Amino acid sequence: MGNGCIERITLLWMIRTKKIKNFQRVFLLISFVALVETIDAQILNWKQRKLDLDDFRAHELSIDTLAGQSSVFIGMLQKSKGAFLSFSVDACFDQSESWIKSSHKNPETLMHEQGHFDITEIYARELSKKLNSKKFLIKETEEADLIYKSIVQEMNELQIQYDMETKGGTIMDKQQEWLHKIEESLKQNSFN
């Protein structure tokens, strides 16, 4: 068995974020996968552990003005249970797409990037709660997809706000405020 981030997938939606010149562009990559036996070991599930500097394995972009980039996404597994669907939702981090410049491999940059992963977990929990609080018939995948898209949109907006207000983690008092907000939201299972 793998890391719990998804063993078999009928539908996987991936959020890729790329920051450019202190702004963040959000790309939504929708991948429909018929069947995946195992997700590569370079995908971490948020429930496994906190990030460390060795988790950033992609080659840094030398032309990029950023200190680093985290590739985070919400993985969603749909399973049928009789006439109904059940959902498994995880916040995931792709080590092969994430990087930190050598000159910025420090606790402050790591702390900021962990914040992105934690925000993803907050919204993965919200998605799981919404999807599993209702009984969806197998033919009702469209409604589940709309809920997914709505949650992802909210998450993307918050990820951008986080980067803008902390200037990529360089304004330490703002970074600390955000980390406190994120920690409280994880305790409450929602972002306030």
Q: Give tens-digit pLDDT for 113-125.
A: 999 999 999 999 9
* pLDDT given for residue 7 in this prediction: 35
Is residue 7 one of the residues assigned to a domain? no
Q: How sure is the predictor about 63, in pLDDT bands with cuts at 50, 70 and 90? A: low
Q: How sure is the predictor about 147, in pLDDT bands with cuts at 50, 70 and 90? A: very high
Query: Cβ neighbours of residue 77 under 8 Å, at least 6 residues apart?
Result: 6, 8, 9, 10, 11, 87, 88, 89
pLDDT at 167 over 50: yes
Give the mean pLDDT of 20-31: 35
| Domain with 127 in it | 12-188
Give me the number of domains the chain comprises.
Answer: 1
Give the mean pLDDT of 131-155: 89
Is residue 153 one of the residues assigned to a domain? yes
Q: How sure is the predictor about 40, in pLDDT bands with cuts at 50, 70 and 90? A: low
Is residue 25 one of the residues assigned to a domain? yes
Give whole-number Cα distances, 38 to 30, 83, 85, 92, 96, in Å: 18, 26, 21, 14, 16
| 18 against 138, higher pLDDT | 138
How much is the mean pLDDT over the chain?
79
